[in-house]
Every structure is written in structure tokens, then in C-alpha cells.
């Protein structure tokens, strides 16, 4: 089936009715994963591509859920018929990670041991946990090997973890706008965002749904601050500069500048649909990701088992996941004589560039994917 921006796609809920052991020792008695698929799985099941999402992403990668949808999936410019990840060639799977709030088992789900929602009782999950659950999904679908695992930001960390943990099950790994571990500054940003949520009076220790509340103020501030780090000063300056919303200063704490209006809008929109406990979980998974830590902080040792061909991309204006972090991974892969292609894209979009349509970036992904044989 050809997939375009107007194609109506239907999510699928996959149930796993057996215990799942997490990295922290906690065992989930069962779990669900919400997925969407695009394209057709070939007879040999050799054309499957897994799309791993970033912090606030979902299973909805491309197409629309109904004809009146205002927006297509979050990576619709990348995935579809004739697009860089071509659904005429590949069978593409997007999923909502464990701990998410878009259908997969997470804090909003019912805890089978109590009958109430998990809330704050949902355990902290790691990138490795996600990869292990994704491996179970692959088994369920009869996919023994991915043609490619692809992700940007936190999704790129999952692609790297896949190549490390399941080297025989990944032929190509695309690690985009990502890092082999967070910088101290990034961990600090994440903690400030979490504190905004944790100290919201409506948080109620993470059990806000039982109080019919939502820590909307904290989530809104967390998103506003996070959004600032996802864009570049150059790009933000070009878009807004010091433009006033009105004709003169208000001399109060309402909105004076257009950039303030933009950030408040982004915060409000996010707080309306995202779950605060999920935000906490996702940022912790980011913080904990560090495959080299198990190898005396030697990244070369961590990637030594990988067999995939790598595509690594960074963006010049991305100061949250700077090109130097991607280059650190590339150097480790080269040191271990791995097959790796690296591109640094000139862009004014900052970290969010991996979601945008900078032509050199789109062309680079397209060229890499064209060379994958299925």
C-alpha cells in the first residue's frame, strides 16, 4: 500500500501477556505496545524498518488518523511513498515506547495488581528496556532482523542500543542528532524540567489522576524550557527577534514579546495532551543512557560488538546534542573498524532540525536508505 501524507492509518495495540523484567529489577506482569505500520512486509521479512521516537514522540509517524486531521505524523516528511524512508520499499514500524502516554503501557495504564492506574508507581524504564520490549515486538511480528533501526535524539540512542545489544538483528543503524551519553548540562536541564513538575501543587506525588488534577503548570514550564533548548538562537532570532506583540511595553508581567507568546503557546499545547509522569520517565531514560559505562567508560569497547552499518548525522546549530557528541561516536566506530557514514548538516533549526526538511539532510538519509538491499 502506498503511503502519502493523506493516507489514513490505523494504530494497532499489541498485548504481551507475560512478565517483563526491567533493568532496575522491577517486573511488569504484562504490557501493551501501540504501533503503526506503513508499507508491506515482504515474503522474506527482510525489509522491516523500526522508527524509534524521541522524548515526546508517539507511534504516529506518518499519514493521518482521519480525513480531518490537521497534522500528519511527526516524521511524515521522512517516511512515506517516495520519501527517504520509502514505504514502497520498506515495511516501516513506529511505536509508542513503554512508559508512554499514547497507548502503550505507562503511568496512565491500569496496574493489574491494584486495579488503579499506575501513576507514580510505574517503574523507571531505560533505553535498554525499550530495546528489549521492541525485540519482543519483532519476535511477535516474525522479524528476525531489521533492515534498519532509525531514530533522532532519544530515538538515536535506541538505534545505538539496538546495534550494541542485538548485533545480529540490525543491518543498519541511523543515529541522528543524538549522543552516546548526555552532557552534564543536558542532565541539568532535565532535572530543572522535572523539578517544575514535581513541585507543582497539583502533582500529588505523581497520583494526580486520583485527585482529578493535572500538574499542568509544571509540565507547561518544563516544555517551555525544553523548547528553548531544541531551537537555535540564530533560528529563534530570525523568527522573532525582539518583536513586540503590541506597539509598546505593557510594564507588567503579561506578554510583551512575540517569543514569549510563542513559548506559552507551545507549553499550553503540550500540557493539554502529554502526561507528566511520562515526561519524568523519558527524561530519566535520557539521563541514564551511557553504554560505555559498562565498559570502564570506553565507548570503543561498548560498540565493538556492533555489526550494523551506521549513518550518523548532526546539525551545526544543535547546541543541546552538539556535533562533537556525534563525532565522539563516529571516532569510536572508526577505531573499531565499523562501517560508518557521518554528515554534519548546516542548519539554523537547532536540535529540532532532525524533524525538519533541510535538503542536504533529507538527501543524505535518502542516499543511505537507497543503498540498503532488501
Integer Cα distance of 162 and 168 in angstroms: 10
CA 41 to chain centre: 24
Q: Any idea what DSSP says for residue 115? A: S
Burial class (CB in 10 A: 0-12, 13-18, 19+), 70: exposed
Q: Whole-angstrom Cα distance, residue 230 to residue 223? A: 10
- Which residue among 318, 347, 348, 349 is the active-site one? 318
For the question of residue 351 being annotated catalytic, the response is yes
What is the helix (H) or strand (E) element at residue 66, kind and residue range? none
- Whether 153 is a known active-site residue: answer yes
Which of the following is catalytic: 153, 314, 317, 347?
A: 153
Q: How many helices (H) and strands (E) does the chain have?
A: 10, 12
Contact criterion met (CB below 8 Å) for 150 and 177 = no
Question: Based on the number of CB atoms within 10 Å of its own CB, is 211 exposed (0-12), middle (13-18) or buried (19 or more)?
Answer: exposed
* H or E stretch at 315: strand 309-315
Give strand pairing partners of 148: 49
The DSSP secondary-structure symbol of 163 reads H
Element (H, E) at 282: helix 276-288
Cα 339 vs. chain centroid, distance in angstroms?
24
Catalytic residue among 104, 200, 351, 352: 351
Backbone dihedral angles phi then psi of residue 229, each to the nearest 5 degrees = -80, -15
Is residue 347 among the annotated active site residues?
Answer: no
For strands 12-16 and 31-38, give the pairing: antiparallel
Task: Count Cβ atoms below 10 Å from residue 329 Cβ, excluding itself.
Answer: 25
Catalytic residues: 153, 318, 351
Amino acid at each position: 500500500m502506498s503511503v502519502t501524507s493523506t493516507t489514513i492509518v490505523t494504530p494497532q495495540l499489541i498485548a504481551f501477556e507475560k512478565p517483563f523484567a526491567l533493568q532496575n529489577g522491577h517486573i511488569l506482569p504484562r504490557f501493551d505496545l501501540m504501533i503503526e505500520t506503513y508499507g508491506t512486509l515482504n515474503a522474506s521479512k527482510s525489509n522491516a524498518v523500526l522508527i524509534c521516537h524521541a522524548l515526546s514522540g508517539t507511534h504516529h509517524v506518518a499519514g493521518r488518523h482521519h480525513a480531518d486531521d490537521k497534522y500528519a505524523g511527526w516524521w511524515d516528511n521522512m517516511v512515506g511513498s517516495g520519501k527517504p524512508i520509502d514505504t514502497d520499499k520498506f515495511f516501516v514500524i513506529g511505536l509508542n515506547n513503554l512508559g508512554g502516554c499514547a497507548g502503550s503501557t505507562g503511568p496512565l495504564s491500569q496496574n493489574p495488581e491494584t486495579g488503579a492506574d499506575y501513576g507514580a508507581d510505574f517503574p523507571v524504564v531505560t533505553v535498554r528496556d525499550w530495546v528489549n520490549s521492541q525485540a519482543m515486538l519483532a519476535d511477535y511480528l516474525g522479524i528476525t532482523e531489521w533492515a534498519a533501526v532509525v531514530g533522532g535524539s532519544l530515538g538515536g540512542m535506541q538505534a545505538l542500543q539496538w546495534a550494541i545489544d542485538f548485533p545480529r538483528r540490525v543491518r543498519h543503524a541511523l543515529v541522528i542528532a543524538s549522543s552516546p551519553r548526555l552532557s552534564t548540562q543536558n542532565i541539568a536541564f532535565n532535572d530543572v524540567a522535572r523539578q517544575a513538575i514535581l513541585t507543582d501543587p497539583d502533582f500529588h506525588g505523581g497520583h494526580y489522576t486520583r485527585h482529578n488534577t493535572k500538574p499542568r503548570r509544571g509540565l507547561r514550564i518544563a516544555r517551555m524550557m525544553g523548547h528553548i533548548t531544541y531551537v537555535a538562537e540564530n533560528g529563534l532570532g530570525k523568527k522573532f527577534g525582539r518583536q513586540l506583540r503590541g506597539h509598546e511595553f505593557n510594564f507588567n508581567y503579561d506578554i510583551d514579546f512575540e517569543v514569549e507568546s510563542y513559548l506559552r503557546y507551545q507549553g499550553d499545547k503540550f500540557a493539554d495532551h502529554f502526561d507528566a509522569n511520562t515526561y519524568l520517565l523519558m527524561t530519566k531514560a535520557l539521563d541514564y543512557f551511557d553504554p560505555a559505562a559498562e565498559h570502564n567508560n570506553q565507548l570503543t569497547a561498548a560498540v565493538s560488538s556492533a555489526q550494523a552499518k551506521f549513518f550518523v548525522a548532526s546539525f551545526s546549530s544543535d547546541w543541546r546534542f552538539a556535533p562533537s557528541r556525534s563525532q565522539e561516536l563516529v571516532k569510536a566506530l572508526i577505531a573499531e573498524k565499523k562501517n560508518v557514514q557521518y554528515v554534519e548538516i548546516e542548519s539554523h533549526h537547532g536540535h529540532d532540525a532532525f524533524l525538519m526538511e533541510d535538503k542536504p539532510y533529507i538527501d543524505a538519509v535518502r542516499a543511505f536508505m537507497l543503498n540498503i538491499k532488501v
